[in-house]
Amino acid sequence: MPILTDRLQAGTTGVPLTVLESREFETWAQGRPEAQVAWLRASGYSGKGLALVPGEGGSLAEVLLGVTSLDDPWILGDLAKRLPEGDYQLKGSDEFLDRAGLGWLLGTYRFDRYKSSEPVKARLLIDDEPRVARLQQMAQGVALVRDLVNTPPNDMMPEHLSEAAQSLAGQFGARFTELVGEQLLTENYPTIYAVGRASVHEPRLLDLRWGDAGHPRVTLVGKGVCFDSGGLDIKPAAGMRYMKKDMGGAAHVLGLAHMIMALQLPVNLRVLIPAVENAVSGNAFRPGDVLKTRKGLTVEIDNTDAEGRLVLCDALAEADTETPDMIIDFATLTGAARVALGTELPGYFTDADALARDLNAAGKKVSDPVWQLPLHTPYDDFLKSEVADLVNCAPSPFGGAITAGLYLKRFVEQTPWVHFDIMAWNQRALPGRPVGGEAFGVRAVFEMLEQRYR
């Protein structure tokens, strides 16, 4: 299991794990046995970092962790792998237990499908069974995102992504259908087909539905480009190296769907994933081609490496026909968003002010920050084409995340819509967040949905 959910359990019998702000160490020490305090001082401990406090007979009496702030959600993010085997009891406020418990669990993540890793032997106990169960499901949702993104492309092509969606549907009794290959043309998803037709792995549109038809309708759309060579506008080697993560949007919506279904959020959920490989062959789509979209708009191809918005536009047009309460898409869409915000802060676009307020508040509450970027409509001019309704890529290198968002906006007319432009990848190891696939904004969106619909 990628997240070792058995490493967080409900219980009351472990070694006390005390987490305190470093400035409170002297106050804590005043109430402790003299021998323990003397041992801590002799070992040079002054309230910063980890200390194992000895008890009688050489036993472990307590674990002490001095931190800068108890509000840091990652204070236990690397603790599971640092503690010796055993059970550790954590107490605190509800908010603290939620933050610390999730950070602990995410710190147990290992992607060990191809390489063995050192097992985590420490176990955290919290005396609250419903809270523990919830944290386990939230962690599993994040782990699903990480696992899918981390899987190499030879084992994560459109058919494998389909299998992952089908497995998730089976786990929660959801309904799953898909369109494969030329069925996409028959059912009028021409741009999904055009992007994926050059690959031996047939393009697909995955469609998962779950929930009561009478509940508020929420539709998630995820970019599922399982590998992106750039097409005929081929990427350089450095740019292609980590393009296994270009299906990160699909991974995000599947991880979010796991949370929604596992925690029984009362929504009528639909998940749409256009799954393709952007490959190079004799029938690859070309710069200068004009494609007709599901909505009927024609698109001139300026650059075949701007393929994500092509597969998304057909899926978004379909989502919009049902006029759900909201549409939320996730996509590893532009490098421009990373230039603006860096790799660890996900940007999003929306014209729905109430959604933006709720998302910002939710992200802050659950320590999953998100940042709104502008849909600056004057930049629509950059999408003009001489021969079609629009181009797929603006000629200017500036404001690329905005023009990509404006392109997608053309395909959602009736529904409040949020577009996330994400990295889906940790470039550096941080507590609870190893290098590799990562979920950005998923917990914030879940919190927003829960606040609205629970």
d(CA 1, CA 424): 20
Catalytic residue among 32, 81, 131, 235: 235
Side-chain half-sphere CA neighbours of 225 within 13 A: 32
- CA neighbor of 158 nearest in space, from 51, 277, 271: 277
Catalytic residue among 146, 197, 244, 309: 309
User: Is 235 among the residues known to form the active site?
Assistant: yes
User: Is 48 among the residues known to form the active site?
Assistant: no
| 435 phi and psi angles, rounded to 5 deg | -60, 135
Q: Which helix (H) or strand (E) element contains residue 271?
A: strand 268-278
Torsion angle (degrees, nearest 10) of CA 292, 294, 297, 300: -40
Are 297 and 214 a contacting pair, CB within 8 Å? Answer: no
Token pair listed for 164: 């992952």
- Would you call 253 helix, strand, or coil by DSSP? helix
Strands 15-21 and 86-90: parallel
Contacts 24+ apart (CB under 8 A), 259-262: 259/137, 259/138, 259/141, 259/442, 259/443, 259/446, 260/210, 260/218, 260/446, 260/449, 261/168, 261/171, 261/172, 261/174, 261/210, 262/137, 262/140, 262/141, 262/172
Residue 355 CB contacts under 8 Å (≥ 6 apart), including other chains:
326, 416, 418, 448
Per DSSP, the residues of 397-429 read: STTHHHHHHHHHHTT--SS-EEEEE---EESS-
Active site residues: 235, 309
